[in-house]
Amino acid sequence: MIHYLARSEHNYPVGDYLKSWAGPSHPVIKILAYERLPTILPRGTYVFSDLERLTSCQSELMADLRDQLAAAGDGIRVLNHPIRSLRRFALLRALSDGGQNEFRAYRASEALDHVRFPVFLRRAGEHDGNVTGLLRDHAEVEQAIVRALLSGLELDDILIVEFCDTSHGSRRFRKYSAFRVGDRIIPRHLIFSEQWMLKLPDILDAAAIAEERAYLESNPHERILREIFDRAQIDYGRIDYGVLDDRVQVWEINTNPIVMLPRDRYARQHLAAQEFFAERIRSAFRDIDSDGPSQPMVSISLTEGVRRMRGVPESRPA
């Protein structure tokens, strides 16, 4: 069995997939809410997802849980680390510092002396795309930050990201996405749009369909994507990226990505690509499935982790 941990309000990325695409031969995936974890857990595979949305205290407690599961012996497999797996800002900074990404991301609290315009604002821990359009100078950035703060965002949750134009002047943007599931890198889709921030395709002509199918079948960036996932210490998630001058430019890695939408959300001409991906992701989930039904359950306690955060000694006299 695969146990998929996520925030309670974000169970749909896997839930919708299981309802529409899993099929009878699919391994059982049980979605567990971080907020309502039981104190006794069965053996199996545990995927720590939704890491971007965890508070710092939740991350510490889930790291404690992960350590307890990993120490429980046979029949346990654990994917992602609640603390060591890189979040969006840390990943983008590492990739730009290492020369992989041609653009940089900044926290809104940082100095912007060397920023390259245009830029846009986005949230550090959410996956709702850009908060603003393209901003052309410091004055526009400052006004955008003011509006973001007044809307309820915290300063540390605001990123300023340099715009990286991967359209090559064609007015056709491409967003590549690929999953990592354990040891497998699986191309998810290639989305075409005239808009630079892409969520769903708005170009589905014959050329786009053919290019996407070639991408799904050839997995052309597998080696570099595996290296980036390894650098981020992420075993399960979806990487979104573009290509600039034959070099991968990473937008983010989402640890709780939508696997697949319900079938009726896809255009008829796009269903063949969805079926192709569905079979490959089913196979990948089967690969990470593990179960130990004859082995004892694992008792979990997070009280010691709470005591450490509070500065209370771990052992107390009876």
Cβ burial of 3 (10 Å; 0-12, 13-18, 19+) is: buried
Q: Is residue 167 part of a domain?
A: no
pTM of the model: 0.94
Q: Are 270 and 213 in contact (CB under 8 A)?
A: no
Residue 33: how many CB atoms within 10 A of its CB? 14
- Kindly state whether residues 29 and 120 are assigned to the same domain: no
99-124 per-position pLDDT tens digit: 999 999 999 999 999 999 999 999 99
217-254 per-position pLDDT tens digit: 999 999 999 999 999 999 999 999 999 999 999 999 99
- Kindly state whether residues 36 and 64 are assigned to the same domain: yes
- Kindly state whether residues 284 and 190 are assigned to the same domain: yes
- Kindly state whether residues 209 and 243 are assigned to the same domain: yes
Please give the average per-residue pLDDT across 60-75, as a whole number.
94
- Kindly state whether residues 204 and 257 are assigned to the same domain: yes
Domain count, the chain: 3
Q: Is residue 210 part of a domain?
A: yes
Strand 40-41 with 173-181, pairing: unpaired
Residue 265: how many CB atoms within 10 A of its CB? 12
- Kindly state whether residues 179 and 155 are assigned to the same domain: no
For residue 317, pLDDT over 50 is answered with no
Q: Is residue 317 part of a domain?
A: no
Residue 139: which CATH number? 3.30.1490
User: How sure is the predictor about 315, in pLDDT bands with cuts at 50, 70 and 90?
Assistant: low
- Kindly state whether residues 121 and 215 are assigned to the same domain: no
Q: Is residue 226 part of a domain?
A: yes
Q: Is residue 61 part of a domain?
A: yes
Q: Is residue 92 part of a domain?
A: no
Contacts with 108 (C-beta within 8 Å, 6 or more apart), sequence order? 121, 145, 148, 155, 156, 158, 159, 160
144-186 per-position pLDDT tens digit: 999 999 999 999 999 999 999 999 877 889 999 999 999 999 9
Q: Is residue 227 part of a domain?
A: yes
What tokens does 92 get?
Answer: 């983008």
For residue 291, pLDDT over 70 is answered with no
For residue 292, pLDDT over 80 is answered with no
Q: Is residue 241 part of a domain?
A: yes
- Kindly state whether residues 138 and 212 are assigned to the same domain: no
Residue-number span of the structural domain to which 130 is assigned: 104-162
